[in-house]
Chains A and B, each alone.
Chain A
Amino acid sequence: MIAADQIERVFRAEYGRAVAALIRRIGDIDLVEESVQDAFAIALERWPVAGVPPSPAGWIITTARNRAIDRLRRAALPLVIDDDPHVELEEGVVPNERLRLIFTCCHPALAPDAQVALTLRLLGGLTTAEIAHAFFVPEATMAQRLVRAKAKIRDAHIPYRVPAADDLAPRLRTVLAVLYLIFNEGYIASGGGELSRADLCVEAIRLGRLVHELLSDEPEVMGLLALMLLLESRRGARTNGQGELVPLGEQDRAQWDRDLIAEGHALVRRCLARDEPGPYQIQAAINAVHADAATAADTAWPQIVALYDQLLAIAPSPIAALNRAVAVAEVAGPEAALAIVDALAVDDYYLFHAIRADLLLRLGRDADAAYAAAIARTENARERAYLERRQRRRSSPR
């Protein structure tokens, strides 16, 4: 007997594969989506009785294709499906289809928020309501965003194609940026009460694995996947029993997920062997150094400072400079770190103020205004609660 949640798992894993396999042949994205949903509805009825077919993905694709033909016939629309289903829809060719679709969803001609929404919708199989909820946007707004993006793909003839070699690097950067945006949105929610929305992180990692599987030789793809795995490994330790945020230095490292760390480490080692460093690879390496330390005190801070130096050399950003300052505080003391922080102009970023406050506190100076500035700039309730606890703690002996 097969349970509905098993079919739900197949749905999550195979939805994108089925949509990708059909979209280039049928053209109409909405028709493809409706047909794939039909196919899963049929599976929900049939599989518990007849058993799961040997190739669930192949079954879903063939059934969805037949449903699409039915729908076109009923609407008396011309049949524009140009393939031999028995040859073309074999699973072997499908991964390329998903890669094509991810490049379409992340096409630079689409707005970044549309890229994210389309990727989650078409490749992740998330419903419009789920995406809207994840991004704190009214469902009608998200629906509108998706409708507009799909219309642009259709009307502007955005192709379903892996870009040519001379265009691959910038296009891949957009794809990776979309995946990291999805991951980050899940890791630290930009608003609301939950610190992290695990589903978005899981989805970003799933898509990261997919891109890695299809472009296994791209070092930045390895780097991003490693980075996400290493960050995800700390999920359980990032909050305590009361749901409060626990900073890296105070986390119970026994709670870190060793399997994810091992997988992340293996990818970082492959990146090092490749020696074509990029921003994601270096950030992954930094997190690998943290993962290597048995206790916070064992952290190889000089190595982390050196990695941030490398990151700033190839991708300068005030955020990276700020994070480097945190490592500098451990190597050269809070005074040196504060001098670096004070020279940065990132007033609207809450971590700038939170890190300043921490450094001021360590120097025995007044950190009240800095904490207040940090609290005023975070929309995440748990982050805010953490900062408020830190601010209160300042008055009691440490």
Chain B
Amino acid sequence: MPHYALSIYQPDAQPPSAEQLAPVMRKMNALIEDAKAQRVWVFNGGLHRPSTASVVRNQRGEVVTTDGPYVEGKEHIGGFLIVDVPDLDAALQWARRLVDGLSTPDFPDGLPVEVRPFAHVGPPR
């Protein structure tokens, strides 16, 4: 079945406190458990802030490492969930639950989630 990356977009501003995030984390954990129980879950994770990133690139034949991130923006991918579902509508349902889980009384709008299909999983075909 097709795989989709559900990426959570987060503003670069100071993240909420652990206290503010507690209800979000509870909802996230329930969602991940549910995705696993329904055999939809492939992978999920949260990323450290973009200032922790390093960039490796080939510069005229020499591979060099520099401070990251690669792309500076107002938002960055804060984390993602990869699901294995029959079609886009099913992936969008999971994205809706994710968006719902990311909103709290302090942040009623939560965070947007981008849903993107994988072209392939594992070695390129």
Contact = CB atoms under 8 A, between A and B. Distances in A.
A167 B87 CA distance: 15
B87 A159 contact: yes
A367 B104 CA distance: 52
B119 interface: yes
Nearest to A159: B87
Nearest to A107: B88
B89 A156 contact: no
Interface string A136-175: 0000000000000000000111110101000100000000
Interface residues of B, number: 10
A346 to B, nearest CB: 27
B117 interface: yes
Nearest to A109: B88
Q: How large is the interface on A (under 10, 10 to 19, 20 to 34, 35 or more residues)?
A: 10 to 19
Interface string B85-96: 011110010000
Main secondary structure of the interface of A (DSSP, over half): loop
Contacts of B68: none
Contact of B92 (A109, A155, A161): A109
B11 interface: no
A159 B85 CA distance: 12
Contact of B2 (A107, A157, A163, A167): A157
A242 B59 CA distance: 69
Interface centre among B2, B89, B92, B116 (most CB of A within 10 A): B89
Interface centre among A157, A158, A159 (most CB of B within 10 A): A157
Interface string A98-117: 00000000010100000000
Interface string A190-233: 00000000000000000000000000000000000000000000
Nearest to A158: B88
Contacts, number: 25
A2 to B, nearest CB: 42
A163 B88 contact: no
A158 B89 CA distance: 7
A157 B87 contact: yes
B117 A159 contact: no
A161 B86 CA distance: 12
Nearest to A171: B89
A109 B115 CA distance: 10
Interface string A168-194: 000000000000000000000000000
A155 B89 contact: no
A156 B89 CA distance: 10
A155 B87 contact: no
B74 to A, nearest CB: 23
A158 B87 contact: yes
A107 B116 CA distance: 15
Contacts of A156: 88, 116-117
A158 B90 CA distance: 10
A183 B117 CA distance: 33
A285 B2 CA distance: 46
A167 B86 CA distance: 17
A109 B4 CA distance: 14
Contacts of B88: 107, 109, 156-159
Nearest to A161: B89
B19 to A, nearest CB: 34
A167 B88 CA distance: 14
A158 B92 CA distance: 10
Contacts of A157: 2, 86-88, 117
B54 to A, nearest CB: 31
A167 B119 CA distance: 27
A163 B87 CA distance: 12
Interface string A80-123: 00000000000000000000000000010100000000000000
Interface centre among A107, A109, A156, A161 (most CB of B within 10 A): A156
Nearest to B116: A156
A264 to B, nearest CB: 34
A155 B119 CA distance: 7
B7 to A, nearest CB: 14
A183 B2 CA distance: 36
B90 to A, nearest CB: 8
Interface in B47-86: 86
25 contacts: A107-B88, A109-B88, A109-B92, A109-B115, A155-B117, A155-B119, A156-B88, A156-B116, A156-B117, A157-B2, A157-B86, A157-B87, A157-B88, A157-B117, A158-B87, A158-B88, A158-B89, A159-B86, A159-B87, A159-B88, A159-B89, A161-B87, A161-B89, A163-B89, A167-B89
Given A157-B88, A158-B87, 6 more contacts: A155-B119, A156-B117, A157-B2, A157-B117, A161-B87, A161-B89
In the complex, the 3 A-B pairs of residues with the closest C-beta atoms, listed nearest first: A159-B87, A157-B87, A156-B117
Interface of B: 2, 86-89, 92, 115-117, 119
